[in-house]
Amino acid sequence: MNNQELIESANYIRKADILIITAGAGMGVDSGLPDFRGEKGLWKKRENKTQYNDFINKPNEAWYFYGIRYNEYKNTMPHSGFYQLLEISRAKKDYYVFTSNVDEHFQKTGFDIEKIEECHGSIFMWQCSMDCKRKVWTANYPQIEIDTEQKLAINYPFCPDCGRPARPNILLFGDRYWNPDYSKSQGVENSYRLRDLESKKLNYVIIEFGAGKAIPTVRRMSEKLSQKYNAPLIRVNPHDFELEEIQGISLRMSAQMAIHKLYQLI
């Protein structure tokens, strides 16, 4: 990658009326958060992968893994790139965030909650482990206490309706009990927002941060939006940076570095 690619990317963003941000786990790495599927990611470091029924059958073990994440995400501040990206976004006619991240760092930075879609849910929203009443509520624990020697959570939340263990409102593999209502409500709000803009002759740009190939939800959405709006896609990723038959530019660097350099150029 050379400076010309950065200059072209900055020009795309400068000319755009609508900025669509898509983000995977790589977006939070510069904040000190591990990614999920990378070589040093959370999934590879855990021997017994937490599944949805673990919250029913062995909640102390399930909450050990997710309790560590909950505490870490709660206590970690977004990196400076988030704030620079927010400033760029606010200068546009509108913006939209689509992310598979469950850490709510976009909300913590100050992005409008009505312009964010979390396709895999949020660790700060909880539900019954068996979705007994189809309710999702805001997490209310200051900290999940962890026994690192036994690899168990000492405390964890319970469903206020049935008394079963609660769980994060996060989509897990083969998940029978995930309640998608909160995530779907975000998607509906944002799809209407974008639909209202479609009748106007506006320029779009899609900028994607840290979206991997193992679970390509974010990458596919980026490409879908690029084709739908005939808009350039700027793919930022130090590893999975390739573009396949999509107009745009690849920036082979971390999210924070790319945002910092683009911010200076814009």
CATH number at 159 reads 3.40.50.1220
Q: Is 160 helix (H, G, I), strand (E, B) or coil?
A: coil
Cβ atoms 254, 29 nearer than 8 A: yes
**Cα–Cα distance list, 173 to 55, 152, 195, 201, 215 (Å):** 13, 21, 31, 40, 11
- pLDDT tens string 44-97: 555 445 676 899 999 999 999 999 999 999 999 999 999 999 999 999 999 999
The answer to whether the Cα torsion of 45, 46, 50, 56 is positive or negative is negative
**pLDDT, position 47:** 47
Strands 166-170 and 233-236: unpaired
Q: What pLDDT is stored for residue 259 in this prediction?
A: 98
Task: Report d(CA 74, CA 126) in Å as an integer.
Answer: 14
What local confidence, expressed as pLDDT, does residue 255 receive?
96
Pairing of strands 248-251, 233-236: parallel
- At residue 213, the pLDDT reads 87
Residues of the chain scoring pLDDT < 50:
47-48
pLDDT score recorded for residue 167: 97
Give the total number of structural domains in the chain: 1
Q: What is the pLDDT of residues 213-234, one digit of tens each?
A: 888 999 999 999 999 999 999 9
Q: Which domain holds residue 115?
A: 3-265
What's the pLDDT score for residue 3? 87
